[in-house]
Amino acid sequence: MKTHSKLIATFLIISGCSGGQYDTEYLPPATVNYMVEEEQADFNTEEYDRIYENEFLDVLKNPLSTFSIDVDAASYSNSRRFISQGQLPPKDAVRIEEFINYFTYDYEAPQNEHPFSIHTEISDCPWNTQNKLLHIGLQGKRMQTENIPENNLVFLLDVSGSMNDPNKLPLLKSSFHLLLEQLRDNDRIAIVVYAGAAGQILPSTSCDNKEKIIQAINDLQAGGSTSGGEGIQLAYKIAEENFKKEGNNRIILATDGDFNVGVSSDGELVRLIEKKRETGIYLSILGFGSGNYKDSKMEKLADHGNGNNYYIDNLFEAKKVLVSEMGGTLLTIAKDVKIQIEFNPTKVYQYRLIGYENRLLKNEDFEDDTKDAGELGAGHSVTALYEIMTKEQDKDETKGVDYKYQTTNISPDAYSSTEIATIRFRYKNPNDTTTSNLIEQAILDQNIALDSTSIDYKFSATVAEFGLLLRDSKFKGNSTYDHVIATANDSKGDDNEGYRAEFIKLVKAAKDLDRK
């Protein structure tokens, strides 16, 4: 092997995925291998964790719903790749919350001391009009590039043999060129590559010398097996050596996730990432390629590394993640963001959180500031949807569960309240590792007709409906592709970047594929 230009390396960028350790009483995930036909491969070894969809829960038995935010969007762009190749994505590749959060929404910017604003809206559920759909939106404060703290970035690039395809290393190089154009002279970049061994090919270098950084990227070649664990350890070491106390310290991992040498088991990698996140260094993951893409591994690393997770299927997506949304990708404005909703049992008797299956938290974790949760980037929005049953019941029917050793009587105030639920948020400021802040807001029992809801309400519901169809969910109700297409056409809004128009084309293509 050569050093620098002769060192064979494979790049995979992992954009920081929010989150950490998520406890749930649901069945443990099982990793599933999917074998699909492709033009460039005879077989497929991609891996996706099994998703057990959230069920409807009885409010009297489960009055609280607690989960971590998720700003990842890898599932949507990865599913787009499948559809563009002429096949529907595997069901377990479809994480509905990531479909919804791929898109931006016109939420009001925060006006107070908190780093995000809160938006709620409730109306009829489009695919089951007997139920209601509760829409919850968070909008992170936006920051101009010049106001973003100085960056200490380490590019951790996979240059193993599996990265040799056109949609891997060549696309990775082009993607990083886009990011470099956005960085300022006072930002610094180091580059670590890994294949059979890991090595630093560029020490931490000021971005006033971009030609040197570009040359290091252009010289990369792919070949050899993948020693991802060793590369991650070296990247954290370099990030720590160049740590900026008031800056943004982040590793950007670019890979297909196919680690096969060294510290490579999911458990070992997760434990390593959990230990390193305590240093104040964030992890962003950019996934590339097809055929051997390890979605399950990428998501785990991002969840446990205080970061975010993206899948780059084309240069258009690279521009979205690394240019248009660079602030949200690189700069965290709130960490360990948790959401807890308490439903009023006189208004709601069952509810179902749509998506977020691997972001569920125990109710007691909400108050526990040692429990890790998701990070919110500058300008990022987060949206969550609940399908709820609100059938009218009299007081006798809602008096509580008749247990032998305890009671669950409802507070008299609940009957007279106009609130359908109370929502609470906990978050930490980026530089605070111990104490969280609390926000609480009531959700009123609004009686808004579906036709009168906001464009964002309609569009987010439409995206969720598309996800239900792709998963062939037992909760899809009356969902149809035609309904998704019609509603999406009516709720495109301004769509300056064309993402919603592209969504409509994607749904039409999926409809045709579903007929085969």
The C-alpha atoms of residue 439 and residue 493 are separated, in whole angstroms, by: 30
Q: Are 60 and 400 in contact (CB under 8 A)?
A: yes
Residues 6+ apart with CB under 8 A from 22: 68, 303, 358, 359, 360, 361
Q: Tens digit of pLDDT for each residue in 459-507? A: 999 999 999 999 999 999 999 999 999 999 999 999 999 999 999 999 9
Domain boundaries, the chain: 4-14+144-331
**Concatenated DSSP letters for 91-141?**
GGG--HHHHHTTS---PPPP-SSSSEEEEEEEEEETTEEEEEEEEEEEEEP
What are 75's two structure tokens? Answer: 């599932």
* pTM of the model as a whole: 0.88
The C-alpha atoms of residue 257 and residue 297 are separated, in whole angstroms, by: 6
Element (H, E) at 65: strand 64-68
| Architecture of domain 4-14+144-331 in this structure | 3-Layer(aba) Sandwich (3.40)
* Parts of the chain with a pLDDT under 70: 1-43, 196-197, 224-229, 259-265, 391-402, 516
The C-alpha atoms of residue 197 and residue 231 are separated, in whole angstroms, by: 8
3-state secondary structure (DSSP) of residue 285: strand
CA angle 355, 111, 366 (to 5 degrees): 40
CA 95 remoteness from chain centre: 9
